[in-house]
Amino acid sequence: MSFARRPEIRLHSQVNLQAPALEPTAAALRQVGGFGYFLDPQRLPIEGACLVLAACGHGQLHMIYACDFHTLLRPRSACSAKAMATYYYRRMRTILITGGTRGIGRATALLCARQGWNVALNYVRDSNAADDAAGEVRAAGGRAATLRGDVAVEGDVIAMFSEAEAKLGRIDGVVINAGIVAPSLPLAEMDAARLKRMFEVNVYGAYLCARESARRLSKDRGGPGGSVVLVSSAASRLGSPFEYVDYAGSKGAIDTLTIGLAKELAPQGVRVNAVRPGLIETDIHASGGQPDRAKRLGAATPMRRAGRPDEVAEAIVWLLSDSASYTTGALLDVAGGR
């Protein structure tokens, strides 16, 4: 995430910080204007009714104003009695994560919140998990909105994007993560209903979310540009014989979508990448009837273990961030060498 100097912001140029301690008092913060809350840096950030947060520490003062700009003030001189701060700003980011309430999506949401980003969390069924995940995001410093909707239903997808923008502001990044597996079977044993649902959620759902991302992020449509990360799977290159060839094929479609959409959207300021996790310890394996699958099969991988959701989240958040500014169309394996 880049910082840009914005000395012209009047709101900020009024600030005089008391150096060297840089211990802002409630009064000093109120000088900035509009602050309803002064937060003790030792405490977790609290969402205020007027949507203003402030926290300090390590010689820096962070302010989040109206949940739009995250301002980082650094003193020019730690010795001067009344050092004027050097003002930087960065816009808060809003990230929409499909299936953001459990497993890999939830770990990604938490890591986004720790970057100071707002997170819209989509889910389809488990509202308790959604509430818990939103609570974690808020405790980590982000704003959260939970959005119920089935990614395989076009109306739900459109409503989800609109609701996210209405609640948290313009979307800057999308993680297309929601996905399902089904019980292990050879293809000859799979019925049509299973195949239909697998491709509806994992392929059609991902394409709908990708299309909506393209419509809202592309600069030629008035969007801000941004970053889209799709969650594929190492299964797309392994094929998953006798287990999930349907699932593996659905993830092959995600890889292809990533490659093509990256080329379509690069001129529009939108980067599109995918991560391909290996065996990660989440509930998805239980939903396929094998709760111990990741641990069991993970022991036979080159790293001799399954991965954790937060290890995948690190890769996703890197791809979302400006640190990956020249990376698009990439398929990033996060699979422990599998």
Report, as residue numbers or ranges, the catalytic residues.
247
Cα 334 to Cα 311, 312, 338, distances in angstroms: 8, 6, 9
Q: Which residues, 92 to 111, sit near ligand NAP by CB under 6 A?
A: 98-99, 101-105
Report d(CA 14, CA 11) in Å as an integer. 6
Minimum distance between the CB of residue 311 and ligand NAP, rounded to whole angstroms?
11
Tally helices (H) and strands (E) across the chain: 12, 12
Minimum distance between the CB of residue 270 and ligand NAP, rounded to whole angstroms?
21
- By CB under 6 A, is residue 129 in contact with ligand NAP? yes
Quote the distance between the C-alpha of residue 243 and its chain's center: 30
Q: Which stretch binds ligand NAP (CB under 6 A): 125-133, 188-196, 296-304, 321-329?
A: 125-133
Q: Which residues, 197 to 216, sit near ligand NAP by CB under 6 A?
A: 201, 205
Minimum distance between the CB of residue 119 and ligand NAP, rounded to whole angstroms?
13
- By CB under 6 A, is residue 280 in contact with ligand NAP? yes
Length of the chain: 338
- Pick from 146, 218, 233, 273: which binds ligand NAP (CB under 6 A)? 233
Binding mask 245-274 for ligand NAP (x = CB under 6 A): ------------------------------
Minimum distance between the CB of residue 217 and ligand NAP, rounded to whole angstroms?
20
Report d(CA 180, CA 37) in Å as an integer. 43
Question: Residue count at the site for ligand NAP (CB under 6 A)?
Answer: 32
Phi, psi of 253 (to 5 degrees): -65, -35
First and final C-alpha spacing in the chain = 31
Minimum distance between the CB of residue 155 and ligand NAP, rounded to whole angstroms?
13
The string of DSSP letters for 221-242 reads GT---EEEEEE--THHHH--TT
Computed from CA positions of residues 260, 265, 269, 270, in that sequence, does the dihedral angle turn out positive or negative? Answer: negative
Nearest C-alpha neighbor of 206 from the set 159, 253, 239: 253
Strands in 60-65's sheet, in edge-to-edge order, are: 4-5, 85-91, 69-75, 60-65, 53-57
Which residue, 102 or 216, is less far from ligand NAP as judged by CB? 102
Binding mask 14-53 for ligand NAP (x = CB under 6 A): ----------------------------------------
- Pick from 45, 116, 173, 179: which binds ligand NAP (CB under 6 A)? 179
Which residue, 32 or 180, is less far from ligand NAP as judged by CB? 180
Nearest C-alpha neighbor of 254 from the set 131, 130, 151, 143: 151
Contact between 62 and 39 under an 8 Å Cβ cutoff? The reply is no
Minimum distance between the CB of residue 271 and ligand NAP, rounded to whole angstroms?
19
> Looking at this protein, which amino acid is placed at residue 313?
A
Nearest C-alpha neighbor of 334 from the set 177, 124, 223, 206: 177
- By CB under 6 A, is residue 316 in contact with ligand NAP? no
Report d(CA 54, CA 119) in Å as an integer. 19
Which residue, 140 or 152, is less far from ligand NAP as judged by CB? 152
Report d(CA 278, CA 92) in Å as an integer. 31
Q: Which stretch binds ligand NAP (CB under 6 A): 64-72, 80-88, 144-152, 217-225?
A: 144-152
Which residue, 134 or 152, is less far from ligand NAP as judged by CB? 152
- Pick from 17, 83, 168, 178: which binds ligand NAP (CB under 6 A)? 178
- By CB under 6 A, is residue 288 in contact with ligand NAP? no
- By CB under 6 A, is residue 177 in contact with ligand NAP? yes
Residues that bind ligand NAP (CB under 6 A): 98-99, 101-105, 122-126, 129, 150-152, 177-180, 201, 205, 231, 233, 277, 279-280, 282-284, 287, 294
